[in-house]
Amino acid sequence: MMKKNIFKEFPDLSNCKITILGLGYVGLPLAVEFAKNSKCIKTGNSINRKVIGFDINKERINQLKNCFDKTMELDVEDKKYIKLINLTTDIQDIYDSDVFIVTVPTPIDASKNPILEPLKSATTTIANALLKKHQEDLDHKKSIIIYESTVFPGATEEICIPIIEQITNLKVDDDFNYGYSPERINPGDKVNKLTSIKKITSGNNELTKIWIDQLYSSIIEAGTFAVSSIKTAEAAKIIENTQRDMNIALINEFALIFRRMGINTKEVIDAASTKWNFIKLFPGLVGGHCIGVDPYYLTYKSKEVGYLPNLIITARKVNDSMGGNIVKELVKSMVKKSIDIFRSNILIMGFAFKENCPDIRNTGVLNVYNELIDYECKIDIYDPIVDKKEVFQEYGIEIYDEIPQKKYSGILIAVGHTCFKEKGIKNIKKYARKNSVILDLKYLFNQKDGLDFL
């Protein structure tokens, strides 16, 4: 059994002040869980932590202060705890924090290279807070910095920590410690939530690793999994989504092959899934901030160390090309019905990157839209879940809350929102011309309904 004073130079696990930097799909649920003041799973001790939610987006902060969460990640019960979080955009409010947890986005640029500016900016904010804290000698406890944002192996120690050291002149182990605990949030998933997913933890030394592991153990019901190094934790996260991306790419290729052979892909997958070790996935668009992005972080680092990851790169190319392939299949089906493609009315159902989620980051539907624009089609997009204002600001595209009262030559069900299923195929067909094509990418309906599938 460990001695009680093992963490004497660390913040008090039960009464520390925690700042979450970035209040999106990852940061907000994390802040809420820390704010609940629940019982510590491992020790049974009461927890009375102070939680600060820091974000540079003033609109987001104001929305949360009014208990409005546009990400739809919180249920009614969770929203009650937002009021326990000190929501702020002011760096002065985080100066006396003991723990800093970074949950900012890590996107890619047009060349598929990592964009690390949000990560560096958050790190600089922490460095300035630490500098102020030590200048005022607010306390003598070591500060703890934890990164959750998805990065390539080595990013925390090679990019982030040097920023802290350069700005503050503070020393690792003497003045602060750090760790990496990758986020595993699945946007829109109401079953596999933060507390029900095992948490990977790591630290820059053994004691820090144990401290961080115990911190997360106090809120994660599924438990934690401590690994030996920060790079291991970073690598574990990056391969989770890379593996899934590659598996989906394989299914997408199957679909394109079977369509040319006149075989129903869904029926093939359902049949193959009767074997216990077959991974059941369906074809479609791959987007979002994880699966469509994370593999590029790994390929970037892989090339840097002298290895060309051909299989990963190929899988990414397959999935990135699906928008174009889907449009080709839609056009082929329309041509077979002697439908004039140019300037025809096309309805796209769904703009989010996945079902039942308002997240539009890196949505694959955008590629479909752009491909159809090349045919000079008149395109309407119907998605009652996404933020219309956000879509227009980001992409200049108008989104409809209701299907426009028109007749369409082509209808593409691109996202599997439950509300689309509930609307029913009979109601959807009311918007289709007599000799139209309805391509159901998500298999929401049955082939007997006269639909087209990949």
Catalytic residues: 290
Residue 435 buriedness (CB in 10 A; 0-12 / 13-18 / 19+) = exposed
Distances in Å between the Cα of 22 and the Cα atoms of 19, 31, 61, 125, 140 are: 10, 10, 10, 12, 27
Say how far apart CA 139 and CA 96 lie, in whole Å: 9
195 phi and psi angles, rounded to 5 deg: -75, -15
- Cα–Cα distance between 345 and 263 in angstroms, integer? 28
DSSP state for residue 46 in the 8-state scheme? B
Let me know: does 339 contact 436? Beta carbons within 8 Å. Answer: yes
> What CA–CA distance (Å, rounded) separates 97 from 53?
11
- Residue 202 is encoded by which pair of tokens? 């790591």
Helix (H) / strand (E) containing 17 = strand 17-21
d(CA 151, CA 149): 6
